[in-house]
Amino acid sequence: MALLNFRRPAPTTGTPVNPQLHAFLQDYSIEVMPRTAEKVENFRDLLPEGTRVYIAHIDGTPIEDMVATAARLARDGYKVMPHFPARSIKDKATLADWIARYQGEAGVDQGLLLAGGIPTPVGAFESSMQLMESGLFDKAGFKRLHVAGHPEGNRDIDPNGGDAMVMEALRWKQGFAERTDAKIALATQFAFEAKPVIAWANRLAAEGIYLPIHIGIAGPAKLQTLIKFAIACGVGASLSVLQKRAKDVTKLLLPFEPTDILTELAAHKAANPEFNIERVHFFPLGGIKTNAQWAIDNGGEATRPANA
């Protein structure tokens, strides 16, 4: 049974909460994997009821494990958003089976559609657009579909380092949002520097792409851990932020926290309410508990709009 009157504990750091950051953190989402979720005894001790929890699909993870994690989180009162990686899905029948399992066992009605991390498709699908075009999510009554955003580009799509193909794909997804009832949003790769993110978001708006952005942020973690993930995930431009910190021996052993980037983004949002970054999405690279505690200390709360 879901905990009906969840309230976050008061911040434990003793530091006054920044009101702009507090506002920016409302309705944040977070990502888990089945193997990391197994280590959490009770999610309700960490996350407010109604939090959107993405379930990352690492290639090779059995669909049974994904669905079991989704069912557990749904029982605890969370909005479950599993990944649907196109290149790991054999065919339309497999996709239909996944959707049916998620709906039947966890009541899922939203998903993150993405190409996936493997370079060669195992079957019929290669891109999130093909998944969207399948019609299966609409047929199943999915209300929300998120797709990937890349503030620092994506060399899998644009090998030359530009963004022509990425922008073309985003225009297609903008059109899909306009001609369907699905709520579409961009869930981005994580970044460490605010200014490039702001410039990218403004560029999308200038190009007529108004899909809401849920900005990916790496939760608190050891510096070495973040550098490893940043290199593996192709986060290039803002990697310099981590490298600069690594040269400061006084900070090398301290965990890196997302306070600076989120404070700057929150201030920009407060000064520009029309700014199209609407939510924060956490990648808990240093652990779910650590990330959740950081959110508690910085004012993330349990208030959830009914249609978020």
Q: Is the pTM of this model over 0.95?
A: no
Give the burial string for 269-292 (b: 16+ CB within 10 Å, else e). Answer: beeeeebbbbbbbbbbbbbbebbb
Check: CB of residue 65 under 8 Å from CB of residue 72. Answer: no
Other CB atoms within a 10 A radius of the CB of residue 65 amount to 16
Distances in Å between the Cα of 54 and the Cα atoms of 91, 108, 155, 194 are 23, 11, 24, 23
Condensed to tens digits (0 to 9), the pLDDT of residues 284-297 reads 999 999 999 999 99
**SS3 of residue 260 by DSSP:** helix
Check: CB of residue 203 under 8 Å from CB of residue 188. Answer: no
- For residue 303, the model assigns a pLDDT of 39
Does the pLDDT at position 304 exceed 80? no
DSSP 127: S
Cα–Cα distance measured from residue 213 to residue 117, given in angstroms and rounded to the nearest whole number: 21
* Lowest mean pLDDT, pick from 159-163, 188-192, 251-255, 298-302: 251-255
- For residue 166, the model assigns a pLDDT of 87
Check: CB of residue 277 under 8 Å from CB of residue 213. Answer: yes
Check: CB of residue 86 under 8 Å from CB of residue 128. Answer: yes
Condensed to tens digits (0 to 9), the pLDDT of residues 187-229 reads 998 888 899 999 999 999 999 999 999 999 999 988 777 777 6
Q: Which of 252, 251, 259 is nearest to 280 (CA)?
A: 259
- For residue 164, the model assigns a pLDDT of 84
Mean pLDDT of the region 131-155: 91
Check: CB of residue 255 under 8 Å from CB of residue 181. Answer: no
- For residue 281, the model assigns a pLDDT of 97
Give the burial string for 31-60 (b: 16+ CB within 10 Å, else e). Answer: bbbbeebeebeebeebbbbbbbbbbbbeee
Does the pLDDT at position 152 exceed 90? no
Residue 15's identity, in one-letter code, is T
Condensed to tens digits (0 to 9), the pLDDT of residues 245-281 reads 555 544 555 678 999 999 999 999 999 999 999 999 9
Q: Which of 299, 303, 306, 282 is nearest to 56 (CA)?
A: 282
DSSP 221: B
Task: Point out which residues pair with 80 in neighbouring strands.
Answer: 53
Task: Point out which residues pair with 197 in neighbouring strands.
Answer: none
Architecture of domain 19-297: Alpha-Beta Barrel (3.20)
pLDDT confidence tier of residue 8, bands split at 50, 70 and 90: very low
- For residue 255, the model assigns a pLDDT of 76
Average pLDDT, the chain: 86
**SS3 of residue 25 by DSSP:** coil
